[in-house]
Structure 1
Amino acid sequence: MSHHATAQLQALDDAQMEQTVGQAYIEMDSRLEGTEKFSRITFGQNVKIQANADSLTLGGNYDNGLGLGTGTDFNATNISLGYIDTATGAIVPFEFTNPYIEWAVNDVTNDMVGFRIGFEDAKGILQGNFANFSGNIGMTINGNPASLFTTAGGSITNNRATYIGETAGSCTDGSDCVSLANVQSLSVADSDGTGTADFFLSFQKQSLDWGQGPVATKGFFMNVPTNTNLDVTTTGSSTGRLATEFIDRGIGRWNVTATP
């Protein structure tokens, strides 16, 4: 006796499709804003990560107006996502939901003008020893909205900043402003502590509005929404740092107490 089984794919009509529920692994979409066409690929994933990098330097090989090869957009050491709770030994990861890549093309010339990596939801601790920073850090200083500054007593900037201080202040070091070297940890989140959709890293040939967060300036740009506040009372005021290794090797990846 023999048995045969046969199967065949059948197309679903519109009524059947309406009753079908599923989750796509990859979603693709595009939109036109002015002369720029934005295309995005979103990956339907939940990612939890604890990762370290010795150093990261970005945006140094182009003319930013100061001359080719003059400075860098972003320079930091001991970069990390997530941390280790040394009291329990537990890894506390940085969490991403639905990461995406996005690019912008001039609809007239068909030239690519920008590229971005972002997440529909992100939450966790970002740490590093920041020498200079291009982008936006949405923290508060002394409970007031903050902006990046060129240097102490300098001007507000989104490009190659070395200080952060009260937006309405004069960037007086130790009063309403502090060196970025003192901001070693940031809680990436919305103001209420929940996940944020505005954390992204991007590169642009020109200033570009990606449709969320601040307008990204030419070169490398990182947008960091955070509910972190730093009360500045001295030039040494700092956020402190959390461990990112299980053993203190004396290389700047261990707990550092915040300094008021």
Structure 2
Amino acid sequence: MRQQAYGYAAVTLFCLGIAPVAQAELKPISEETMGEVTGQAFMQIENIDGGVDGLQFTRMTLGMDVETRVNIDDVTAGEIDGGVDFAAQHVALGHIARNDGKQFNGRTYSAGDTVHFEAFKPYIELAEDPAEGKLSGFRMGFGQARGSVSSLTSSFSGDIGLKLDDGSGTIYDATLMDQNAQPTRRRASHIGIVDPAAAPADCTSGAATNCAPLTRLQSLIVGQEGTDGVTDFTNDFFIGFQREDVNWQSPDGANVISAEQGVFINLPTSMTVGMNQLITQGVQRLQTHRNDMGKQLF
């Protein structure tokens, strides 16, 4: 045993002794060998010209894909001047299928299956005014996003791409409004139809016309309309924080979305909901907890 110990010690000392003089040579590899190597940058940085606004944009995109289901108790953003730009309780991304055979995102799920919120290529984008050398705003979003968003929202700033059916088959773009049925994209509490061709909106409780509280809208499917009823990915889902009004470009450059000062959430959806349903029943909440607590959870 002692001889073995001496042997191990000798080998160890020998290795330690030659370590300081060990050498390695870097050799170039052929293009053919390089062609067999694949990879992807973890982060891509783009500088984008803002055009007529004179702003300069820098977008940092992460080369990663995320599938998640998450619950958040309370979210408050932009609390200033005696109000709040966005306030919601029981926020959830993704949900759980209640019944067998339910179809979401082009797939069929069984009861109890998790239906993830899919978020690909997350990014952070900065808008800078080069004349003043100040940050005009920044936003966080996804190159592609699709899935359910659930909440009990009392104040919303931004845009919700919902469509509403007035009951006669006429479809309108939903309008965010305050409790007095005045259209607004800042700190809205209600949603409905505001159009010269439609009946005037009235948000009076118990006698509402073309107006419903945002709390009636408990679950939405983020995405854009695809073929065969399948919801496709959208690249316009983001939350922005602006010191001044900013025109944000879609990641593919196809759209420009004007965001007002403060917090701005752009929530694209392919859903169409009946106005009367929204007033009387609302859009029921999807199952967002492992133990199902009901369709009108809060």
Q: How does the TM-score come out when normalised to structure 2? A: 0.74
Q: How many residues align?
A: 240
Partners of 1:18 and 1:136 lie apart in 2 by 46
| 1:43 counterpart residue number | 62
| 1:100 counterpart residue number | 123
| 1:256 counterpart residue number | 295
| 2:97 counterpart residue number | 85
**Alpha carbons of 1:137 and 1:128: their partners in 2 closer, same or farther (altered >3 Å)?**
same
The reply on whether 1:196 has 2:196 as its aligned counterpart is no
| 1:220 counterpart residue number | 263
Specify which of 202, 208, 214 is matched with residue 172 of structure 1. 202
Partners of 2:173 and 2:98 lie apart in 1 by 32
| 1:65 counterpart residue number | none
| 1:251 counterpart residue number | none
Greater CA radius of gyration, 1 or 2?
2
The answer to whether the Cα contact below 8 Å between 2:67 and 2:116 also exists between their aligned partners in 1 is yes
| Deviation of the 1:145 alpha carbon | 1.1
Q: What is the letter of the counterpart of residue 98 of structure 2?
A: T
Q: What is the letter of the counterpart of residue 49 of structure 1?
A: T
The reply on whether 1:114 has 2:144 as its aligned counterpart is no
Partners of 2:263 and 2:97 lie apart in 1 by 32
Q: What does residue range 9-28 of structure 1 map to in structure 2 within 5 Å?
A: 10=28, 22-28=39-45
Local SS of the residue matching 1:214: strand
Structure 2: runs of 5+ lacking an equivalent: 1-21, 100-110, 166-170, 251-255
Q: Percent identity?
A: 30
**Alpha carbons of 1:227 and 1:5: their partners in 2 closer, same or farther (altered >3 Å)?**
same
| 1:54 counterpart residue number | 73
| 2:182 counterpart residue number | 155
| Deviation of the 1:247 alpha carbon | 1.6
Structure 1: runs of 5+ lacking an equivalent: 62-67, 249-253
**Alpha carbons of 1:30 and 1:236: their partners in 2 closer, same or farther (altered >3 Å)?**
same
Query: How much is the aligned-residue C-alpha RMSD, in angstroms?
Result: 2.6
Q: What is the letter of the counterpart of residue 47 of structure 2?
A: S
Q: What does residue range 202-241 of structure 1 map to in structure 2 within 5 Å?
A: 202-212=240-250, 213-233=256-276, 235-241=279-285
| Deviation of the 1:105 alpha carbon | 1.0
Local SS of the residue matching 1:144: strand
